[in-house]
Amino acid sequence: MAKDYGEVKLFGVVGSPFVRRVQIALELKGVKYTFIEEDLKNKSDLLLKYNPIHKKVPVLVHNGKPLAESLVIIEYIDEIWRNHPFLPQEPYDRALARFWSKFIDEKCLPPISKASFTACKEERDKGTEESLEALEFLENELKHKFFGGETIGIVDIAAGFIAFWLPAIEEAVGLKILTHEKFPKLSKWSEEYTNHVVVKENLPQRDKVVGFFKARYASIINASK
């Protein structure tokens, strides 16, 4: 008889790359869960109760117990549901996977945001330069089909932002960062990742995401005038 893991709920919004990370993790493991859509302009009492510290999504609630922060949640999922492991067992490789996941959040995402959603052109150019530097490290790190080897691992899930949201941002604001010329391996990986049978079912609609970023960019430029 299949083991009963109990009730799983995920609080999130469809457009958030961090929420999608958790969804992809759950789907890859074949975990049944209920998705609870939040309105970030009017956060529910439940969300505020489950994540009083950051008041953000995603929040995973497993058998009534809440967890926040996407990478923390993914490691938890990996420990409870043992199929399709996201992290290597060997301590050194495990440490490396954690290092690269953290690198993506701390060194890739902020400069990409700076390169796109800043009014000052000088800042945007600086952001572009920093993004290119950061992606260069990732490009050199990619040695197999995925960062996780032959199957998707935690670093791939974390890097989903680069595979899907970055190209959408590039289209929305007229930026060129992730090019085939500069990043042949990362570009190929992006295609593999976003076309993966499970991942592609768990990404938002591209035109909506592009539209969202176009609006955000316009409001930042307008506010600076």
Partner 1 sequence: MVEEAKVVLLGSGFSMFGMRAKIALAEKGIKYEYMEEDLANKSPLLQEMNPIHKKIPVLIHHGRPICESLIIVEYIDMVWPNNSPLLPSDPYHKAQARFWADFVDLKVYHASRRVWISKGDEQEVAKKDFLESLKQLEEFLGDKPYFGGDTFGFVDVALIPFYCWFYSYETFGNFKVEAECPKLISWAKRCMQRESVSETLADEKEVYEGILDYKDKFMLN
Q: Which stretch binds partner 1 (CB under 8 A): 26-34, 96-104, 122-130, 180-188?
A: 96-104
Q: Is residue 84 within 8 Å of 93, Cβ to Cβ?
A: no
Q: Which stretch binds partner 1 (CB under 8 A): 32-40, 99-107, 121-129, 183-191?
A: 99-107
The correct pick among 9, 20, 56, 62 for binding partner 1 (CB under 8 A) is: 62
The correct pick among 1, 92, 122, 143 for binding partner 1 (CB under 8 A) is: 92
Task: For 157-193, give one letter per residue: b (16+ CB within 10 A) or e.
Answer: bbbbbbbbbbbbbbebbebebbeeeebeebbebbeeb
* CA 191 to each of CA 119, 153, 157, 171: distance values in angstroms, whole numbers, following the listed order: 31, 16, 14, 16
Residue 39's Cβ-side half-sphere holds a number of Cα atoms within 13 Å equal to 4
Nearest approach in angstroms of CB 103 to partner 1 is 7
Nearest approach in angstroms of CB 217 to partner 1 is 27
Sheet holding 59-62, edge to edge: 34-37, 8-12, 59-62, 65-68
Q: Does 95 bind partner 1 (CB under 8 A)?
A: yes
Nearest approach in angstroms of CB 197 to partner 1 is 28
Residue numbers at the binding site for partner 1 (CB under 8 A): 53, 62, 65, 67-69, 72-73, 75-76, 79-80, 91-92, 94-95, 98-99, 102-103, 107, 137
